[in-house]
Amino acid sequence: MPRSARQEAHVKNHVETPSTDESIKALNIGSKIRTLRKQKALTLKNLSTATGLSKPLLSQIENDIVIPPVSTLLKISRALGKDIAFFFQETRGDTKITLVRASERENPDARKLGGTAVGYQYATLAYKKNRKNMEPFFVEFQNSDEREMPFYRHEGEEFIFVLQGRLEFRTKEEVHELRAGDSLYFESDVPHAYRSLGNRKATAVVVLFSPPGAGI
């Protein structure tokens, strides 16, 4: 199904509007990014080149003015040679088996990020594990107008299992409606977008796979 000129612009320019939730600033995502960047002797221009994100956006993220959606944070973490979970956790040793109780998803390490501007909110489900190739998230999708759906793309693969509601998944060529119990697996360098359909917000478990070894 053809996209509007506005949707094409979302893909072409990698526009990903971050959240500004004050309660999430306690995670210090921005300061962690700045510290890592300086440790690697990288300028904002270097990081911009490595991620494809603009310098003004990176500056706003580092200063905790905005909170990046997961696809943006994934690009930054890969460029800095870190697992995305690094930004959600305190320093701790790594183990081969980690357990996150349902109640632990309520603590500051795992609070929801994102918002209506990015089309979803997410909470990391395996923030205790430092080194891993997969990143599982609990995602709550927002209702949005078809013309306003932001498209995302990032290196790797993605798996979605819908828990409740109706979820629309779009690419340039395809549109699929998923319901509770449905699943979808795709290569995430394909520009894609989501939106919740109906009165009940769709929720899903989303697992991202990132090939190892991609850093500066």
- Write out the CATH class of domain 5-209: mainly beta
Q: Which residue has the higher pLDDT, 124 or 117?
A: 124
Q: What is the pLDDT of residues 41-88, one digit of tens each?
A: 999 999 999 998 999 999 999 998 887 877 788 889 889 988 777 777
Whole-angstrom distance, CA of residue 20 vs CA of residue 133: 28
- For residue range 17-42, list pLDDT tens digits in order: 444 455 456 568 888 899 999 999 99
Q: Are 69 and 118 contacting, i.e. CB atoms less than 8 angstroms apart?
A: yes
Q: How far is CA 46 from CA 4, 43, 50, 53, 71, in A?
A: 33, 5, 6, 10, 19
Statement: residue 12 has pLDDT above 70: no
pLDDT at 156: 87
The answer for 174, left when phi > 0, alpha when psi is -120 to 50, beta otherwise, is: beta
Q: Which helix (H) or strand (E) holds 55?
A: helix 55-62
Q: Is the pLDDT of residue 149 over 50?
A: yes
> What's the confidence (pLDDT) of residue 131?
76
Mean pLDDT of the chain: 79
Helix axes 55-62, 29-39, angle to 10 degrees: 120
Would the pLDDT of 157 be above 90? yes
Domains of the chain, by residue range, sit at: 5-209
Q: Which value, to the nearest 10 degrees, does the dihedral of the CA atoms of residues 7, 194, 184, 212 take?
A: 80
Q: What's the token pair of residue 172?
A: 């340039």
What tens digit of pLDDT does each residue of 64-73 get?
Answer: 888 787 778 8
CB 47 within 8 A of CB 76: yes
Q: DSSP class of residue 214?
A: -
The candidate with the shortest Cα–Cα distance to 193, out of 91, 80, 84, 71, is 71
Asked if 178 and 198 count as a contact pair (C-beta separation under 8 A), the reply is: no
Judge whether 123 and 110 are in contact, CB under 8 Å.
yes
pLDDT above 70 as % of the chain: 75
Cα separation, 132 vs 199, whole angstroms:
36
Residue 114 has pLDDT above 90, yes or no: no
Banded pLDDT at 112 (limits 50, 70, 90): low
Question: Mean pLDDT across the stretch 127-151?
Answer: 85
